[in-house]
Chains A and B, each alone.
Chain A
Amino acid sequence: MTITHHSRRRGGAALASICLAIGVTACGSSTKSSSSATTAAGATTAAGVTNAAGTPAAGGATGIKSGLTVYYIPKDTQNPYEVLADKGGEAALTELGGKVVVSSGTEDTAAAQIPSIQAAIAAKANAIVIAANDPDALCPSIAQAVAAGIKVVAFDSDNNCPNHLFINQADTATIGTAEVDYMATLVNSTGEIAILSAAATATNQNAWIGFMKQQLAAKYPNMKLVDVVYGDDDPAKSLTALTGLLSAHPNLVGIISPTTVGISTAAQYLSTHKDIAAKVKLTGLGLPSQMKPYIKDGTVKGFMLWNPSDLGYLAGYAAANLASGTTNLKDGSKFTAGKLKEYTIAAPAGAAPSVILGPPTVFDASNIDQFNF
Chain B
Amino acid sequence: MLSETTPPQTATSGVVQAPPTIRNPQTNESSWRGLLRWESALLVALAGALIYGHRTTNFWNATNFFYIGLNIGEIAIMALPLTLIVITGEIDLSVASMLGLSSTLLGYLYLHGWPIGVAIVAVLIVGAIGGALNGVLVTRLGLPSIAVTIGTLTLFRGLAEITLGAKSVGKFPATLTKIGVIPIPHTQIAYSVGFFVVLAIIYGVVLHAMPVGRSIFAIGLQPEAAHFSGIRVKRIKLMLYVLSGTVCSFAGVLWTMRFATSRYDAGTGLELNVVAIVLFGGISIFGGRGSIIGVVLATAVMACIQQALTLRNVDAQVRNIVTGVLLLISVVLPNIATGIHRLRERRRLRNRDRLAQRAPDLHQPTTTTTEGQRA
- Asked, given contacts A4-B315, A106-B320, A110-B259, whether A52 binds B57 with beta carbons under 8 Å apart, the answer is yes
A interface residues, how many (CB within 8 angstroms): 56
Q: State in angstroms the CA–CA spacing of A9 and B328 once bound together.
A: 22
Q: State in angstroms the CA–CA spacing of A360 and B201 once bound together.
A: 59
Contacting B at CB under 8 A, from A14-30, are 14-15, 17-18, 20-24, 26-27
B312 CB–A CB distance under 8 Å: yes
Find the residue from B41, B49, B313, B318 having the highest chain A CB count within 10 A. Answer: B313
Q: Which of B144-152, B153-161, B302-310 contacts A (4 or more CB under 8 A)?
A: B302-310
B63 CB–A CB distance under 8 Å: yes
List chain B residues, Cβ under 8 A from A103: 310, 313
Q: Is the interface of A mostly helix, strand, loop or mixed?
A: helix
- Asked, given contacts A45-B55, A45-B56, A123-B58, whether A107 binds B268 with beta carbons under 8 Å apart, the answer is yes
A134 CB–B CB distance under 8 Å: yes
Least CB distance, B261 to chain A, in whole angstroms: 4
A41 CB–B CB distance under 8 Å: yes
Query: Could you tell me if B55 and A134 are in contact, using CB atoms closer than 8 angstroms?
Result: no
> Which residues on A are within 8 Å of B, measured CB to CB?
3-4, 7-8, 10-11, 14-15, 17-18, 20-24, 26-27, 41-42, 45, 48-49, 52, 76-77, 101-107, 109-112, 114-116, 118-119, 121-124, 134-141, 143-144, 160
Across the interface, B47 reaches (CB within 8 A) one of A21, A109, A121, A124, namely: A21
Query: Could you tell me if B180 and A109 are in contact, using CB atoms closer than 8 angstroms?
Result: no
Contacting A at CB under 8 A, from B225-276, are 258-261, 263, 265, 267-270
Across the interface, B309 reaches (CB within 8 A) one of A14, A23, A102, A122, namely: A14
Residue ID in chain B nearest A117 by CB atoms: B67
Residue ID in chain A nearest B59 by CB atoms: A122
> What 16 new A-B contacts, CB under 8 Å, besides A109-B268, A122-B64, A136-B261?
A8-B318, A11-B318, A11-B322, A18-B325, A18-B326, A76-B316, A101-B313, A102-B313, A106-B316, A110-B259, A121-B63, A122-B58, A122-B61, A123-B58, A137-B168, A139-B170
- The 4 A-B pairs with the shortest beta carbon distances in the complex, nearest first, are A21-B48, A11-B318, A122-B58, A137-B259
Query: Could you tell me if B314 and A7 are in contact, using CB atoms closer than 8 angstroms?
Result: yes
Query: Could you tell me if B263 and A137 are in contact, using CB atoms closer than 8 angstroms?
Result: yes
Least CB distance, B276 to chain A, in whole angstroms: 14
B317 CB–A CB distance under 8 Å: yes
Query: Could you tell me if A119 and B315 are in contact, using CB atoms closer than 8 angstroms?
Result: no
B52 CB–A CB distance under 8 Å: yes
- Asked, given contacts A4-B315, A10-B314, A45-B57, whether A115 binds B259 with beta carbons under 8 Å apart, the answer is no
Query: Could you tell me if A105 and B316 are in contact, using CB atoms closer than 8 angstroms?
Result: yes
Number of A-B contacts (CB under 8 A): 153
Query: Could you tell me if B168 and A24 are in contact, using CB atoms closer than 8 angstroms?
Result: no
- Asked, given contacts A41-B55, A140-B177, A140-B260, whether A11 binds B315 with beta carbons under 8 Å apart, the answer is yes
B118 CB–A CB distance under 8 Å: no
Across the interface, B310 reaches (CB within 8 A) one of A76, A102, A116, A134, namely: A116
Query: Could you tell me if A11 and B329 are in contact, using CB atoms closer than 8 angstroms?
Result: no
Interface string of B266-308 (1 = CB under 8 A from A): 0111100000000000000000000000000000000001111
Least CB distance, B71 to chain A, in whole angstroms: 6
Least CB distance, A10 to chain B, in whole angstroms: 5
